[in-house]
Amino acid sequence: MKFLCAACVFAGVLAYSADVTAQTTTPTPNLNGVWTVTNYRAKLSDMSSELAAAKQDAPFTPQAAERYKNLDRAALDTGPSSRCLPPGIAFLMVMPYAFEIIQIPGRVLTFHEFGNYVRQIFTDGRGHTDPDPTWLGHSIGRYEGDTLVVDTIGFNGKAWLDQTGLQGSDELHTVERFRRTGSELDYSITLEDPKTFTRPWTAQATFKLQPNFNIVEFVCLENNTYVGSPGMKVPANK
């Protein structure tokens, strides 16, 4: 009899715990799907509500401002990406090409039509440790209610962050926020880089769900010759 009573109490505790868990656990927001940007601008600072309202450029350091001013855009086209090298994280996320968000246990993947690039965003609780520098950096994410927050470091400083030649350094740190509202996705990216900017700043984008769209194959080989794109004809190490 005592054993039966103990079993009943244990079962009751389990049922109560399950009920509390069900009430306190926030479901993961569904961000899956193919998305396209609705407010693309070639200049990333034009996608910043704060900077655009004040008619200001990115808050460059004096050295970065001089480098940006003197950039030979006619020769470089869209920079490394015109030579089939990866675009910067902001450029990749907001450029007018479709991308798909794929949520799986422990990770969120973004699969981009441009270049067929794939980002891995780790949501399994790991930290950054000491990542090797890469074009798109090392991304870890967490869910804050209905928003996916992505923290990225470990950039190699070679990529363009927009179509006009905005470029970060190896100290670039970004924080992205993804929040779904029906068939739209609100997105923001905050850029912090003491070698390039005097303060952090944020750009915003809105994406539209494309329910019947499939990402197509995109083939581009480094330094491939493409008529009409001057960036394809410059040395790879420029």
How far apart are alpha carbons 73 and 83 in whole angstroms?
14
Higher pLDDT, 135 or 225: 135
- Specify the pLDDT at position 233: 54
Q: What is the mean pLDDT of the chain?
A: 86
**Annotated domain spans of the chain:** 35-230
**pLDDT for position 131:** 82
| In the predicted structure, residue 17 carries a pLDDT above the cut 50 | no
Using the predicted structure, report yes or no on whether residue 237 has a pLDDT greater than 80. no
* CATH label, 35-230, candidates 3.40.190.10, 2.40.128.20, 3.30.1700.10, 3.40.50.720: 2.40.128.20
Give the separation between CA 118 and CA 92, rounded to whole angstroms.
10
Write b or e for each residue in 8-44: b if 16 or more Cβ atoms lie within 10 A of its Cβ, otherwise e. Answer: eeeeeeeeeeeeeeeeeeeeebebebbbbbeebbebb
- 22-48 pLDDT, tens digit per residue, is 334 568 999 999 999 999 999 999 999
Quickly tell me which residue has 């015109």 as its tokens. 82
Q: What is the mean pLDDT of residues 189-218?
A: 97
Element (H, E) at 140: strand 138-144
- Token pair of 227, please? 């008529």
Confidence tier at 225 by pLDDT (50, 70, 90): low
CA distance linking residue 135 with residue 186, whole number of Å: 24
In terms of Cα–Cα distance, which of 18, 46, 60, 34 is closest to 216? 34
User: CA 91, CA 73: separation in Å to the nearest integer?
Assistant: 16
Q: What is the pLDDT of residues 67-116, one digit of tens each?
A: 999 998 877 888 888 888 999 999 999 999 999 999 999 999 999 999 99
pLDDT of 197 higher than 70: yes
